[in-house]
């Protein structure tokens, strides 16, 4: 275990032009810094938070846990690192990932390159010298040749604008801005708004601690048991004996959570109902995202999808004692078009006498007063509120920065009808700016660790190529960008992902354009990136 050092909180006095500035010190920013140093670039990371870790620094709510296997949700770039780190559970907790990222930072001396408690407020491209001029908060300026946005896909919390929210007298917590020290909820009536992945994790943890838990549910959620468990030493030894092979198989899987799992190659409709039930039951018993890959067409064929949805609804009916509650907890939308979840005792929680479930789909929250949440016709007295209301995903953190490219073009204007870029990496009109796991890349539909490593390596290889060839400026061409946006939409339209109001579509944020933002499928994406490089960065304008 490494000693936790004090975060570095100031910029070096020598404030000359950096080769690169990286915004964000999560998994992406840490690896980007390491790679840039390896290729000899001077680099500074700017992080709004008081410490490193990004997602795993901010989301400290009770029950916060990864639902990708720990041995896959870890960097693969250093063989010694992957051998020496010992994961304890099948799915790592927030605390364990955070300790891991601290270990990485210590091992590669990354803290020395990070300025904490500092937010990038604006970024202006200066065409005369091909430099980005950054305005920071607290007030400081910084210049760099390349601006690398490691700002995260799920880092800008969504705090709903509910009438009277500010008047509430008790504490209001957002899962993605959880306090550093544990919160004591004992003897309190606590309301939770939201039951996405975060809500599903926090609700079973809070229920035994509180006097009364009131869950305000707008949409029921599909979830299967994670069956988390301590890792078996033998299975770890076996994986570590061929870690490169294990990683290679990860990269061949289209979805994060299915890595290294034999996915079924048949349609749900190609087997008899009895066999289908048996296969679903086997996946359910195994636990984890393997359930969603029991058949190969669950996200492509509505009828197949319905069979899985019905299986989960039946399970909910068997777990939850009160049939009316079970019905309310049973989702009706297309399974998977909102990101499905893993659960650890979520449905059982609704058998507890101190847990209320309030349906706000037809009877929405009208207002919040100093001591209660009010629906149209009912009020719920509360002493604390937990917002598990998610994020302004994929574009939120980027759009909060006033980014100005060539000819005064602002990113907010350019993306006013949805994000437009090439490969999820580069934006026409915004030279020398790269987004790590930006919209238009597989990002949130993959094991993010795999997606992040691929992007960081692609970007650092590109910067090294530019240095070797004497190029100063790079941006996506308008044609390549237009084709890419069409490609992302075409791939999504072949699936069931666009069939409901999800954050993938921006539908959770009032006024946000409805555009399916991630690209479905990691291996074909990586395949597309390779010839782009081989053909001298095809689709990019280099000068
Ligand atoms: P982040 O970790 O989001 O880091 C971005 C950083 O940028 C933040 O620290 C933020 O403060 C900083 N920043 C943003 N804007 C600015 C600015 N203007 N100035 C300065 N700093 C700024 N993915 C999986 O693959 N599997 C999982 O099981 C999984 N579980 C998750 C659980 C939760 C609760 C959440 C929220 C996400 C989960 N994810 C999961 C997705 C997760 O976000 C990624 O796996 C990964 O951690 C993203 O790393 P990142 O460095 O790209 O972004
Ligand atoms: P989310 O999936 O967007 O869920 C937000 C919840 O809040 C939904 O139930 C939503 O209802 C509700 N909500 C939002 N605004 C509301 C309002 N104004 N009034 C009432 N209800 C409202 O957010 P999340 O749970 O934080 O998860 C976001 C993503 O982070 C996940 O999809 C996943 O990618 C990642 N994550 C992963 C893990 C993990 O892997 N272990 C854990 C947590 C998060 P509607 O559905 O009706 O909109």
Lowest mean pLDDT among 96-105, 251-260, 490-499: 251-260
The predicted pLDDT at position 254 comes to 62
The total number of residues shown for the chain amounts to 543
What's the pLDDT score for residue 252? Answer: 85
Residue 330 has pLDDT above 50, yes or no: yes
Does pLDDT of 257 surpass 80? no
If one residue of 177, 194, 220 were mutated to test the ligand 2 pocket, choosing by the most ligand atoms within 8 A of its CB, it would be 194
Mean pLDDT of 327-341: 96
Q: Whole-angstrom distance between the N-terminal and C-terminal Cα of the chain?
A: 47
Whether pLDDT at 388 is above 50: yes
Helix or strand (DSSP H, E) at 32 = helix 27-38
Does domain 18-154+393-542 bear CATH number 3.40.50.720? Answer: no
The residue whose two tokens read 């309310």 is 328
Ligand index nearest the alpha carbon of residue 218: 2
pLDDT > 80? residue 25: yes
The tens digit of pLDDT for each residue in 405-416 reads 999 999 999 999
pTM: 0.97
Closest ligand 1 atom, residue 176 Cα: 36
> For residues 23 and 159, what is the distance between their CA atoms, to the nearest angstrom?
23
Task: Give the pLDDT band (50/70/90) at residue 253.
Answer: confident
Which pLDDT score is estimated for 6?
46
Task: Please give the average per-residue pLDDT across 384-394, as a whole number.
Answer: 98
Tell me the three state secondary structure of residue 422.
strand
Q: Tell whether the torsion through CA atoms of 82, 84, 85 and 88 is positive or negative.
A: positive
Place of tokens 């350019």: 414
Select from 369, 390, 394, 391 the least CA-distant residue to 379: 369
- Asked whether the predicted pLDDT for residue 320 surpasses 80, the reply is yes
Helix spans in 73-160 (H): 79-84, 94-107
Average pLDDT across the chain, whole number: 95
**pLDDT at site 256:** 45
Residues in contact with ligand 1 (CB, 6 Å cut-off): 23-29, 46-49, 54-55, 59, 64, 66-68, 73, 119-120, 150-155, 198, 256, 397, 401, 436-437, 447-448, 452
| H-state helical runs in 181-272 | 197-206, 233-241, 243-252
Q: Please say if the pLDDT value at position 259 is more than 60.
A: no
Task: Band the pLDDT of 107: cuts 50, 70, 90.
Answer: very high
Is the predicted pLDDT of residue 9 greater than 70, yes or no? no
Looking at the CA of residue 387, tell me the nearest atom of ligand 2: 7
Give residue 418's pLDDT band: very low, low, confident or very high (50, 70, 90): very high
Confidence of residue 1 (pLDDT cuts 50, 70, 90): very low
pLDDT tens for each residue of 164-222: 999 999 999 999 999 999 999 999 999 999 999 999 999 999 999 999 999 999 999 99
Ligand 1: centre distance to CA 381 (Å)? 34
Instruction: With a cut of 50, say whether residue 226 has pLDDT above it.
Output: yes
Nearest CA to ligand 1 atom 52: 152
User: Is 23 a residue whose pLDDT tops 70?
Assistant: yes
Would you place residue 160 in the very low, low, confident or very high pLDDT band (cuts 50, 70, 90)?
very high
Taking the centre of ligand 1 as the mean of its atom positions, its distance from the CA of residue 152, in whole angstroms, is 4
pLDDT at 250: 87
Q: Over 90: is that where the pLDDT of 13 sits? A: no
Is the confidence at residue 4, as pLDDT, over 80? no
Q: Is the pLDDT assigned to residue 280 strictly greater than 70?
A: yes
**What mean pLDDT comes out for the span 280-295?**
94
Closest CA to 167 of 374, 376, 362: 374
Ranked by mean pLDDT, the top range of 260-264, 307-311, 526-530 is: 307-311
């Amino acid at each position: 275990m490494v000693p936790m050092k004090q975060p570095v909180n100031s910029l070096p006095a020598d404030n000359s032009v950096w080769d690169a500035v990286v915004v964000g010190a999560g998994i992406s920013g840490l690896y980007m810094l390491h790679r840039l140093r390896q290729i000899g670039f001077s680099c500074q990371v700017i992080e709004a938070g008081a410490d490193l870790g990004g997602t795993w620094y901010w989301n400290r709510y009770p029950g916060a846990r990864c639902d990708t296997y720990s041995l896959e949700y870890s960097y693969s770039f250093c063989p010694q690192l992957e051998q020496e780190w010992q994961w304890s559970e099948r799915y790592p907790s927030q605390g364990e990932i955070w300790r891991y990222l601290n270990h990485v930072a210590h091992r590669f001396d990354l803290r020395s390159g990070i300025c904490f408690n500092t937010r990038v407020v604006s970024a202006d491209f200066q065409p005369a010298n091909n430099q980005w001029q950054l305005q920071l908060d607290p007030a400081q300026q910084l210049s760099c040749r390349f601006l690398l946005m490691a700002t995260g896909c799920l880092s800008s919390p969504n705090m709903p604008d509910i009438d009277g929210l500010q008047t509430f007298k008790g504490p209001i917590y957002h899962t993605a801005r959880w306090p550093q020290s544990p919160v004591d909820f004992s003897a309190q009536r606590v309301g939770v708004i939201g039951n996405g992945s975060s809500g599903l994790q926090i609700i079973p943890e809070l229920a035994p601690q509180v006097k009364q838990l009131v869950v305000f549910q707008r949409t029921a959620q599909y979830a299967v048991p994670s069956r988390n468990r301590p890792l078996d030493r033998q299975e770890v030894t076996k994986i570590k004996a061929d870690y490169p092979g294990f990683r290679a198989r990860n990269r061949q899987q289209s979805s994060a959570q299915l890595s290294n799992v034999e996915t079924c190659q048949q349609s749900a409709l190609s087997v008899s109902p009895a066999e289908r039930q048996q296969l679903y039951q086997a996946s359910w018993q195994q636990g984890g995202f393997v359930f969603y890959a029991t058949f190969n067409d669950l996200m492509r064929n509505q009828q197949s999808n319905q069979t899985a949805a019905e299986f989960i609804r039946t399970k909910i009916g068997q777990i939850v004692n009160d049939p009316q509650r079970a019905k309310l907890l049973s989702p009706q939308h297309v399974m998977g078009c909102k990101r499905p979840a893993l659960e650890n005792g979520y449905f059982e929680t609704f058998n507890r006498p101190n847990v209320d479930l309030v349906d706000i789909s037809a009877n929405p929250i009208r207002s919040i007063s100093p001591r209660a949440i009010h629906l149209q016709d009912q009020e719920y007295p509360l002493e604390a509120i937990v917002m598990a209301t998610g994020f302004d995903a994929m574009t939120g953190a980027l759009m909060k920065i006033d980014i100005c490219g060539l000819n005064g073009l602002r990113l907010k204007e350019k993306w006013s009808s949805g994000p437009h870029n090439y490969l999820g990496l580069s934006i026409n009109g915004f030279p020398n700016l790269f987004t790590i796991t930006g919209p238009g890349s597989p990002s949130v539909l993959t094991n993010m660790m795999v997606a992040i490593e691929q992007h960081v390596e692609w970007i650092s290889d590109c910067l090294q190529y530019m240095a070797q060839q004497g190029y100063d400026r790079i941006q996506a061409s308008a044609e390549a960008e237009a084709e890419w946006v069409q490609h992302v939409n075409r791939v999504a339209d072949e699936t069931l992902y666009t069939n409901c109001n999800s954050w993938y579509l921006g539908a959770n944020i009032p006024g946000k354009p409805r555009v399916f933002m991630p690209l479905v499928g990691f291996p074909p994406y990586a395949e597309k990136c390779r010839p782009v490089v081989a053909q001298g960065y095809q689709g990019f304008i280099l000068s």
